[in-house]
Amino acid sequence: METGTVLGRTWSVCPVCLRRVAAMKMRRGGEVYLEKECPDHGFFSAVVWRDRVDLAQWIAELKPPEDEGNPDCPSACGLCASHLRGTCCVVLEVTERCNLRCPFCFADGGAMTEDPPLEEIRRSLEKIIRPGESLVQLSGGEPTVRDDLPQIVQAAKDLGCRYVQLNTNGLRLASDEPYVAALARAGLSFVFLQFDGTDNDVYRALRGRPLFDIKKQAIDRCGEYGLGVTLVPTLVPRVNIRSIGDIMRFALARSPAVRGVHFQPCL
């Protein structure tokens, strides 16, 4: 067993029998390893961090679990009342309307119901935001059908929300530069962009129309205003599973505007 610096101790499981075992976080050079030993199956070590960003800096602001010592955690505690986490990201739906009619939709968008007024949304934000900590994602429906979306972003920032994300299909971002500028001025942090592939056959199947050029325009517009983009592909068997490599290559080519890919598989 190689020597290193012990960064902390925790619990893990044996990858063979899933028995709960003690574990250590060990630093060796620029890498952090999780190391554990099972009485029946021996010693295991795996890299869990490589230092492009320091691990201590990355986790410093995380809220630790409120663990009251349930002896069955984490292997058999289910939805354990003794092992709680704070909220990571609050998804706030600001409309049920949408400017697409996708054959495949997670949100069941497209309803013509009346949007909640700005003051109602502000009251919701007051309940969920902890100044300097919270992360809120504005969703729908399609949030950009609201002309007052920049005011919603501004309201969240005024209440001390640290990160405000936008979940969008990108149609309005591609076509309405003043709207994107207003979102950026209001303090929008990030855009989660529906992005299912790099050819229009995929978009015809999942969204009902060719959209690839529009997606590229939306990304370019966000890049112009310093808004980071995460691509969000819905992966559907026999439709776009084959596109995963193309999506990743596209994301790398569009860096730094594109900063990540968040796959949503449907089986």
pLDDT at 109: 61
Confidence of residue 63 (pLDDT cuts 50, 70, 90): low
pLDDT at position 67 = 54
Dihedral over alpha carbons 216, 194, 124, 127 (to 10 degrees): -100
Cα 186 to Cα 161: distance, rounded to the nearest angstrom: 12
pLDDT tier at 94 (50, 70, 90 boundaries)? very high
Does residue 82 surpass a pLDDT of 60? no
Q: How far apart are CA 166 and CA 156, in angstroms?
A: 12
Strand 20-28 and strand 5-13: pairing?
antiparallel
- CB 95 within 8 Å of CB 115: yes
Helices 118-128, 149-158: axis angle to 10 degrees equals 30
% of the chain residues with pLDDT over 70: 85
Model confidence over 216-250: pLDDT tens digits? 999 999 999 999 999 999 999 999 999 999 999 99
pLDDT reported for residue 126: 94
Asked if the model's pLDDT at residue 73 lies above 80, the reply is no
Q: Considering only 38-42, 47-51, 180-184, 188-192, which range has the smallest mean pLDDT?
A: 47-51
Examine the pLDDT at 60 and tell me if it is beyond 70.
no
pLDDT at residue 113, rounded to an integer: 84
Residue 70 has pLDDT above 70, yes or no: no
User: Between residues 2 and 15, which one has the greater pLDDT?
Assistant: 15
Q: How confident is the model at residue 81 (pLDDT cuts 50, 70, 90)?
A: low
Looking at residue 2, what is its pLDDT?
65
Give me the mean pLDDT over the 86-115 stretch. 83
Domains along the sequence of the chain with CATH: 5-84 (no CATH), 90-265 (3.20.20.70)
**In whole angstroms, what is the distance from residue 31 CA to residue 196 CA?**
34
The 10s digit of each residue's pLDDT in 173-215 is 999 999 999 999 999 999 999 999 999 999 999 999 999 999 9
